[in-house]
Structure formats: structure tokens, C-alpha cells
Amino acid sequence: MTKIRRIVLAVVVLLLAISISSIARAQGHIVDVITVKGTINPVLVDYVKRGIEHAEDNNAQALIIQLDTPGGLDSAMRDIVQLIVNAHVPVIVYVSPAGARAASAGVFITIAAHIAVMAPNTAIGAAHPVSIGGDETQTQPTSAEDEKILNDAAAYIRSIAQAHGRNMDWAEKAVRESVSATEQEALDLNVIDMIAPDLPTLLTQLDGHQVTLLNGQTLTLQTKDVTVNQIPMGTIEKFLYVISDPNIAYILMSIAMLGIMAEIFNPGLIFPGVVGGICLLLSFYSLGVLPVNYAGVLLILLAFGLFIAEALTPGFGLLFGGGMVSLIAGSLLLFQGAPPLFHVDWWLIVLVIVLVAGGMGFIIQRAIKIHRKQATTGREELIGKTATVREALNPQGMVFFKGERWSAISENGEIKVGEEVTIKRLDGLTLYVTRKKS
């Protein structure tokens, strides 16, 4: 009986907890939190979109984006800004933890938030479009096209700042002059709304704060004793984010090249071919979301073709040399013109080139050796082998080779029974031989 009471009590407690959770959710006593750390790219766009939709569907008080980024792609940044501006739930961008930064694209995202917050010892700024010339220290446009890009970015950030009543002049300077500010400077300059050392303190400070959405709706945040719901990146999102890195994309492309070539030169191994094919598809995805220079991709593919041609038609190494030049040029051009954040580390390029050169050198050497090797099957294997005379050659007679008697013709005079001869050529079933030199 006691056991039954305990079970009933447990069920009641569980139902009560579910009921309280449902009521809290229905009344909006929830704040969703997502963490954006790293370069801004299309994978993060999908993550932010999922976070906003989750907050809207669950009637959350707000969505907090904990931000720490050195910048990223302009297109991805604009997508995130649009998601924040058009959200039907207050979006709070919180530059945290201590030591974090909102640089380049992160400035636009922070200023676009309904409420912008920074933790102590953080920084914001340097929003100059670094894709101009690929040099983030450059503050002056170098061409009419560059000036258009710079003016567009400046106008865009002024519009965002104006919509939220923030310092438009400083925002424009962040774009044109790459200025930066600490959290206290940003607060004094009216770039952000508050400073909070941690998430619990932020929730306390947000309580009673009013937010006006794009549709004109004004909401008063009630974040006291609110339930915090962390929304982490999913496994697939994490994986796609990891491979959406120029260094990883370059490594995947290199592994794909080596794996496929290993399968071509050694049919039936299967494993290298499977790994190479998977890496090739993953590299295509990575390159598809990165600011890649397709001239570099084509040069790397050309190197791949030249290596195969060298191995299949061995010559004097000209194809191999051309492949190495093409690989080096392609590696250097792969992300040419992209912001510095999306460049491949030079040491990785050197490492890959050395490994590819060594691997291809070994493969080509083996291929040349096989091509030059004496045939070991069929009638061609007789050439150069030694046979024994069984019937004197004057010039025609019989020789014995590997348990078989062959009709033979001497090419250098009479050869007596028992002498050894060298097979020079074959005509039908007749061997042409010469006396073996001692």
C-alpha cells in the first residue's frame, strides 16, 4: 500500500511540475539564450533563425544572443540583422563573456539588437569592410567600386543605429575609420544600452525594460525570476560550422585529392576512394559557403589532373612539375580577395604541398617502375630469360625453358647441346636466341 502511495505521489509531483512549466511558458516566463561564437557565416544564420523561431513559438520574454565574434561574411551578417529587425520577440545581443568582442560584422549585429549589452572587459568596433583590398588597416577606398561598398556599409549601419536611437556618428566612424570602444566607452557614447557582468545580472537589469518591435508593438520585459532556456547548436550545425572554415576546407580538398588518386592507382582498395569521395563532397559544401576564388579551385583541380597524367604516362617529370606549380598557385589564390578571417594559414599550405609532393612522388615512382618492369605474364615474359639447348642450333633446333621444349633459331652461329642461350625475341612459337655471355 505504501509503495502505491509513493507511486501516486510521484505521478502527482511530475504532473504538477509539467503544469507549472506549461503555465510559465504560456505566460512568457521564459528567456531563450543562444551562443554565437566565431566567424559569422551561413551556418550561424540558420542557428540564429532557429533561435528566434523557437522564442516566438514558445512565447518567450526575449531571445538573448551571447555574442563573441571577430567578424565574418557581409551577406551572412545582413541576413542575421534582418532576422533580428523582423523578429516578433525582443532580441538582446549580449557581448560576453569578459574578454569577448563584437568586431566587424559583430558591430552591425549588436547595433541591430532591440537591447545591446556588453560584459566588462569587452570591445566593439572596427567595422570597416575588410574585403576592400583585403587589408583591415585600410581606411580609405582605393577605387570607385570600393567607395560604393564603403558608402553602402556606412549608410546601412547609420540606418540601423537610427532605428534604435543609437549613436549614428560613432557607428559610421566604426565603418569608415575602424574605430573601437570598450564597454564603458560604448555606454557613454550611446552605442549600447547597458553593461552586465553575467547573465543573472542582465536578467535583473532587463526587468521592466520596454522594447518596441518593428510592427510598433511595445513590450515590457518581465525577467525577474524568469526561466532561462539554453538553445545550443545541434550536432549537425556544429559539424557544418566546423567545416565552414577555410583551413578545414583546404584540408578536406587535399585529402579528397590524395584519396581519389590512391584509388585510381590501386583499384580495389575501396577505403581511400570512399574517404576521398566523402571529403570531396564536404569540401564542396565548405567552399560553397566561403568567399572562394574559383580560379584557385580550378588550378587545384588542374594539378590533380596533371598528377594523374604523370603517373599514367610517365615521362620526364614535366607533368608532375606543372602539377606542383598549379597546386601552389591554386592554394595561394583559393581565398584571394577574401577578408583576412578567411585566408588559409601559410604553414598549412606548406604542409599540404610537402605531403602531396611526397605522396605523388612515391606514387609516380612506383608507376614508372611498373611501366619499365619486365612483363611477368604472357609470352612477353620469355624475353631476356635463359634457356638450355636440347637439340643443337645450326641455326635451328630445340631449347628447353621452364619444363617446355621450344623451337628455336640461333642468331649468332651454331650452338651445341647443353649450352645456355638468351631469348631475344619471339615469332609465333619460335624463339630467336643468342649464346649466353659468360
Model confidence pLDDT, tens digit, residues 259-303: 888 787 777 778 888 999 999 999 999 988 888 888 998 999 898
> What is the C-alpha to C-alpha distance for residues 203 and 332, in angstroms, rounded to an integer?
48
Domain spans of the chain? 20-232, 245-372, 379-435
Joined grid coordinates for residue 208 = 521592466
Model confidence pLDDT, tens digit, residues 93-144: 999 999 999 999 999 999 999 999 999 999 999 888 754 333 444 445 556 7
Going from the C-alpha of 185 to that of each of 40, 65, 77, 163, the distances in angstroms are 25, 21, 24, 21
Q: What pLDDT score does 144 carry?
A: 74
Cβ(398)–Cβ(408) below 8 Å: yes
Q: What pLDDT score does 225 carry?
A: 87
Q: What pLDDT score does 237 carry?
A: 93
Q: Which residue has the higher pLDDT, 180 or 4?
A: 180
Can you give the pTM of this predicted structure?
0.73
Architecture of domain 379-435: Beta Barrel (2.40)
SS3 assignment, position 244: coil
Range list of H helices, 270-314:
271-289, 294-312
- CB neighbourhood size of 28 (10 A): 17
Mean pLDDT, all residues of the chain: 84
Q: Using a CB cutoff of 8 Å and minimum separation of 24, what contacts does 301-309 make?
A: 301/330, 302/326, 302/330, 303/257, 303/327, 303/330, 304/257, 304/260, 304/261, 307/261, 307/360, 307/363, 307/364, 308/261, 308/264
Using the structure block, give the residue that is written with the C-alpha cell 537589469. 205
Model confidence pLDDT, tens digit, residues 177-233: 999 999 999 999 999 999 999 999 999 999 999 998 988 889 999 998 899 999 999
Cβ(285)–Cβ(256) below 8 Å: no
The β-bridge partners of 91 are 63
What string of DSSP letters covers 164-177? TT--HHHHHHHHHT
Q: Does 148 qualify as catalytic in the annotation? A: yes
> What is the C-alpha to C-alpha distance for residues 218 and 198, in angstroms, rounded to an integer?
26
Q: What pLDDT score does 270 carry?
A: 82
The β-bridge partners of 399 are 389, 406
Among residues 96, 104, 244, 331, the one annotated as catalytic is 104
Model confidence at 92, in pLDDT bands (50, 70, 90)?
Answer: very high
Model confidence pLDDT, tens digit, residues 36-53: 999 999 999 999 999 999
Among residues 148, 238, 369, 416, the one annotated as catalytic is 148
Q: Does 143 qualify as catalytic in the annotation? A: no
Does CATH place domain 20-232 in 3.90.226.10? yes
> What is the C-alpha to C-alpha distance for residues 410 and 423, in angstroms, rounded to an integer?
10
